[in-house]
Structure 1
Amino acid sequence: MVVGGCSRCYRLTNNTAFPLDWLLWLVFITIFFYFNRELEIMRIVKEIESYIMLFKQIRDKAVSTVIKAFRKEAAKEGNVIDIKFLEARVMDLIESEVIEPVKLDPYGIVAKLKHLLVTTDENLNLEIKRIVPNITTAMLENLKNLIGSAKVLNFYYKALDHDYRMGKKFKSIWILYQLQALLPFITEIVRAVESNVEAVSKGFPIGDSAGPLTVVRFALKNGFNLEPKQIAEKTVLLEGTYRDRRVIIIKAEGPGGSVGRLDDAIMKVFEIEDKISAIVTVDAALKLESEKTGTIVSGIGVAMGGIGVEKFNIEKIATEKKIPLYAVLIKMSIPEAYATMDKNISEAIDKAIERIERTIEEKTHEGDTVLLIGVGNTIGVYP
């Protein structure tokens, strides 16, 4: 009886301990997952903070480069600019915003965008000339490029910092996860723009200069008259012949960092020339990771990036006049497009010229007039 009683007592104690063990185990698991989540947030936060510091350093370096460029130009005129005044004005330009027009009624949106772009450009010209009144046209365009690059870097830094603060504020691991996943892609763009600041500050051609450089080298190869004619604001025209075809070349005016106003130039050409047989655009194009830098691709349409205002206007006039649109594309990555032009892109220009010549020979006839447009930033490329 004593033994049996002890056995029942043991079973009672064991049954009581069973749910207690499970309860302790659940508490331990809950605490473990909570602290694991907190540690994961801390790890991601530290990683994002390191990127934010990097982006801030790159942004500050770009701003410093802009300020040095202004001081250098002012020194040429014998002027001394107060550094605090200059820093404040430069930051005002970098922080300035362009407000998009209303899109509720899409009709006329392109004209509105064009007006905003022209106004922005002219306003930036005035702001720079207030600081450096006698600046050259080429250096004016380069300074505008530097300000634009600093503006992009400032945006990425502030946008990343904002999202990071929101994720940290609400302890939202999902916001932080998304930021962490995007950081390598954002960093690639930021590094590309950083390299652009260096190239522009030295006045070197960049990857995106491939279009203008190609048409100039085409003109040199075929004995064109390289005395440019001003056809539109910051846009020039060259004329010559190739295989009994008259070729009119349009590009932004170099060697400053300008993209010109190609649509205005083409409209001016059509006021003078009625019979254009073909329009050929040459531009840099984004390559896929599997593609080789400098690959040349033919296309149909207008090879032109940006927000699409100039492209729309060129397509519109070509459609109205039923002129075929051909394109020659030079493939490169985003960093290569922003950075100083490398050997692969420079060598690819010869192949692009061959493709232009083939396009003109195969798509047009003797006696035709061809419009050849070098699309892209013409920094370091004359005329």
Structure 2
Amino acid sequence: MQHRYALECLDRSLKDIMKAVDPECYAISFGGIIVVLGGDFRQILPLITYGDRADIVAACITRSRLWSIYQVFLLTENMRLKQGESDSESEELKKFAKWVLDIGNGQVSPPRVCNLPVTENQILIMSQFCDVQTENTVDNMICSTYPNFAHKGHSTQYLSERAILTPTNQNVGHLNSLIVDKLPGESVSYFSVDVAEEFGGTYEDLNEAFPIEYLNSLNVVGMPPHDLKVKVGVVVMLMRNLNQTLGLCNGTRMIVTKCLRFCVECEVICGTFVGSKHFIPRMELSPSDTKMPFKLVRKQMPLQICYAMTIKKSQGQSLKTVGLYLPKSVFTHGQYYVAICRVTSPTGLTIFVNDESGATTNITQNVVYKEVFYGLPEA
């Protein structure tokens, strides 16, 4: 979800543009142009660095001065879930869709467990999604989400319809490296060229304070790593918009078909442009928001391995099989809801939850900021 400042900035920009056509348009919201917004307030809210619950809620568009002029239309049917082939299957899909909505609205009651403290956000996961009798090892999780991986690991259809979701980038990197090691063949390393810019001191001070080895060691969210290891057949995700007319957008999943010297050839495995092949070159990338006292410019291919991905990055994806890995509970509004509503069928969802001691459990946190829904019409 976009920050409310983006909406207000668009309002001011359109007013400035439209007043050249008609001066009276400057007094009308968005310069008199109809603006259509789409979104789900149950999903992840705007990211506020070091912000607390109040800061995140205040950044929502419902807190904008423009919200009162909007007319809200409700969509009531889950189009991601496939249609049932029988009455019993249709009834099961309806129950699953209602459970997903209850999760998003924070209407699932806490579990009643004897001799254990229970918090408001805790929920009990149904046995059909979480098997507490099986140990949540990484190998079990990979085998559950990617069954028969050794033989089907190069199939585009097989890879496009499944993924492991987890809250943090640290777990994503660990899982992806383990899965890539299971693929046959030698890995190819592509090293980035890192430069520090916009530093207040002299060039000599910059080299002494921030040597190249330090810049290479930085792993910034939203940036590819310095050492990008890929193999032929590895699934990657594009991290930048390269060419929207060809389907090369941020979040597009592809499979590596060739590893060349200065670029890789990838085949799109999802969306409208499935099967199209493109060369992905190195390009200069910079983090959009960082606390570093300089601007890091990294020349690298805008790719990341995506057998596993963060829950936030999975927004917009539709998957047949999802393995939700929660070594620690979700930590912000909408994360759990986003993860469980990626699947097209309840049979494709498997949840792996660990408690504080690392043991398998079926109790986890579902963080919902209910004040976000104040003022919204009920479905």
Q: For this structure pair, what is the TM-score category when the shorter chain's length is used for normalisation?
A: under 0.3
Q: Which has the higher helix share?
A: 1
TM-score (norm 1): 0.23
Q: What TM-score results when the alignment is normalised by the length of structure 2?
A: 0.24
Query: Of Structure 1 and Structure 2, which has the larger fraction of its residues in strand?
Result: 2
